[in-house]
Structure 1
């Protein structure tokens, strides 16, 4: 019996080492690189952690990288209760459980929103954040007086999205990616990640994030924060106002491209990260 228990423990240890995480976390985790300073990468809506591959290739020689793919996205099994708050809590628990010492959190799009929320709700735990092309409240672009709804009903969005034929959903995603990504060589991968995503999670998180307003919450952020925004935001009023409650925010605008700045203005993006992360390299 003791031998069987020992073998079971060895098998469990091998599983954790191989996958990079225990089954208690709803998201997929890939661990790479080396270094005392940790970076947690959070991809955007319906994206795989592979969206950070080019970034990691530059920084994993100096940092230990924990790259997430959120549950229900890009082929990762869905969780029973997807929500912005629950995902934030799961990432916070992961950081705590793994004893990551003031990690840098880098997030794109909705992942950037999660980085903002983590830095606001756990100001003593996060070292720095990099937010790639997201605002504290996207809905406020159309309605500056927007207020989040309590108990927001996402069922109509879920019903519409889940009943959509695959061909229609695919066509919608192809059109969406042409509007979000200038680098045409990367679009097919992004569309594929969407097609592999759980449609209910896709709809629920789209609805939930559309109802998220972090403009007041970010007052609590204490860590340095680099905010990288697409060039189109220069032409839109109210961008700086969304971050006015966050004195640590450094707003910088890309010179070209669209929403996927890490692809569309890659050299500029990598230089901004390098300059921002340099003081914490060990």
Structure 2
């Protein structure tokens, strides 16, 4: 009996360890040619719900990354683990004729998926995604100058809950238009694993995907929010994606960064046209 109990305890801890190391949660709905929806940093895959519901004739596959949306955190570097396991997921599930839709950081992952599987992915949709965020936010700063152990990171890690809520509120207000959507974004940020929120963002600041995108041959739609920067945002996108060959830019009016929240109908119409091709 003692041996049985010991085995059960070991099995429990092994299952717990495996779950803790899972880099993302996967949700699947519908049947048909697959559409992979990749959310941006800090949000749950639920952010795509309004869009996913409009594609019952496709298999919609939605990810929520480790450290967010109730998924247990993993170690660091964070982004590279997400990327590697996402490539494994597509390979192990033998996904073919795939459309990949990525918002913000999800667009970075989507670009790397296309480069890993040029013959399996038919369409790529990048929703307000920059291949090198650092160049916009910290122009001229090299990746090697950015580290986890920085003053800003330490400030965020040590911030008390009340101050972090104020911080999250300010971010959410700039990301979506409706108050209800802002509250949802704030809830996701407040429920996130704090180290993942801080160090994972550092991983993104170090990322630069501008080199190598000339190898992508499939059609790429790049969707750009018009708020708050307008034409300046479009010009920035055009500059960063200059090496991409088969691309089209579309600016979304009256939308902030979370286009799937601010203009879901517009985005659904665009996606419906793409998957019909």
TM range (shorter): 0.7 to 0.9
Q: Which of 18, 42, 46 is 2:42 aligned to?
A: 46
1:60-139 to 2 correspondences below 5 Å? 61-139=56-134
1:257-276 to 2 correspondences below 5 Å? 257-276=255-274
Q: CA deviation at 1:235?
A: 2.7
Partner of 2:236: 238
**Is the counterpart of residue 149 in structure 1 residue 147 in structure 2?**
no
Partner of 2:205: 210
Partner of 1:178: 173
SS in 2 for 1:46: coil
| CA separation of 1:102 and 1:149: change in aligned 2, threshold 3 A | farther
Partner of 2:53: 57
Q: CA deviation at 1:144?
A: 5.8
What's the CA shift string for 1:73-109, capped at 9, x where partnerless? 1221001234222211110100101111142111111
Q: CA deviation at 1:257?
A: 1.7
CA distance in 1, matches of 2:263, 2:27: 25
1:192-231 to 2 correspondences below 5 Å? 192-231=187-226
Contact 1:74 1:195 in 2 (8 A): no
SS in 2 for 1:139: helix
**Is the counterpart of residue 164 in structure 1 residue 159 in structure 2?**
yes
Contact 2:21 2:73 in 1 (8 A): no
Q: What 5-or-longer segments of structure 1 have no aligned partner?
A: 1-21
Q: TM-score, normalised by structure 2?
A: 0.85
Partner of 1:33: 30
SS in 1 for 2:248: strand
- How many residue pairs get matched? 256
CA distance in 2, matches of 1:216, 1:129: 18
Contact 1:27 1:71 in 2 (8 A): yes
Q: CA deviation at 1:125?
A: 3.3
CA distance in 2, matches of 1:82, 1:27: 15
Partner of 1:248: 246
Identify which range, 262-271 or 163-172, moves more after superposition. 262-271
CA distance in 1, matches of 2:273, 2:140: 36
CA distance in 2, matches of 1:215, 1:262: 25
SS in 2 for 1:127: strand
What's the CA shift string for 1:142-195, capped at 9, x where partnerless? 566554328x42122543222111111111111111111112221111111111
CA distance in 2, matches of 1:24, 1:65: 24
| CA separation of 1:153 and 1:251: change in aligned 2, threshold 3 A | same
CA distance in 2, matches of 1:249, 1:143: 26
